[in-house]
Homo-oligomer: A and B are copies of this chain.
Amino acid sequence: MADLRGGIDLGGTKIQTAIVDAGGELVGQARRPTPTSGGPQDVAEAMAAALREAAAEAGVESGALSGVGVGAPGSADERTGVLSSASNLPGWEGSFPLGETLREALGTEVRIGNDVQVATEAEFQLGAGREFESLLGVFWGTGVGGGLVLDGKPWLGRGAAGEIGHMVVKRGGARCPCGRHGCMEAYAGRKAMEAEARRRHEDGEKTDLFKLMEKHGKPRLTSGIWERALDHGDKLAGELIERAVEALGTGIASAVNLLDPEAVILGGGLGIRFGERLREPLAEEMGKHLFVDERPPAVRVASLGDLGGAIGASLLVSR
């Protein structure tokens, strides 16, 4: 039992928890919605409850776990356990001692890290990146996040490495949700794509995207809605996905020119859904900008799926 570890993937819409054994096998899991009101203390309580639920499924008390790791958005300080600037979580513009709060609630050691970085490490240790020693994780979802494993070890820089979504693909280009211009995410992030679709639709371009969203009762253009629209031959959806793939290919090629990793792992909601389908156009866009174009890196779709973040978080315990 001492070999069981917990992982918590703290997202803007859901909290996914996992209990993992020493071999990386999943032995318990639970999911809860992320509180949309209140503050960090409420989020921490929901996280603790979801973790206890997963532990119960695995037949242990949380205090018997060898530790719990948390993959969090915003700026996670691994040394102090403080999470700052997690602006898509309620009342979390400032700093909150998340590690300490969870340690008291759960009765075991807690370590926090960056959500995308731990998902990359999960793919490196247990998923699609197992055969490689260096990889670039690209998580294509609401935004575009990145993670790095170099020479078998996570590379965090001064704590904020991996922001591939904010590499510039077009100087003076589209405005990004981050407020800057020309970032890869300004073209490829789901949130930016939805905003662009809405603008073009309001300007008179035809699309079924928003009809499909309403029909399926979704509050936003989910990756599933984009897929349905593509399947229906929706022209605007096709153009915006193509535009996203151009930006992804350009930004990934830039990162590969700088780092020359063995592999690129494509994850995230859109990445997992479209990774295989868009493999060829993505490779083609990358090829236009790769400096050493005769040996592109391997491109793999993340294999741990939705649970990658929570499993990756559990790996923080032994790091």
**Chain A positions near chain B (C-beta within 8 angstroms):** 134, 146, 148, 150-151, 155-164, 166-173, 178, 180-183, 246-247, 250-251, 253-255, 257-262, 288-289, 291-292, 295
A146 close to B260 (CB less than 8 A): no
Consensus secondary structure, chain A interface: loop
A-B contact pairs, 13 of them (CB 8 A): A158-B260, A158-B295, A160-B260, A163-B292, A167-B167, A168-B250, A168-B253, A168-B254, A168-B289, A170-B170, A171-B250, A180-B289, A181-B288
Q: How many copies does the complex hold?
A: 2
Question: A291 — which chain B residues lie within 8 A by C-beta?
Answer: 160, 163, 166, 178, 180
Bound together, the chains give a CA A15 to CA B275 distance in angstroms of 48
B257 close to A166 (CB less than 8 A): yes
3 nearest A-B residue pairs (beta carbon): A157-B260, A167-B254, A161-B260
A145 CB to closest chain B CB, in angstroms? 11
Bound together, the chains give a CA A158 to CA B263 distance in angstroms of 10
B255 close to A171 (CB less than 8 A): no
A78 CB to closest chain B CB, in angstroms? 14
B258 close to A259 (CB less than 8 A): yes
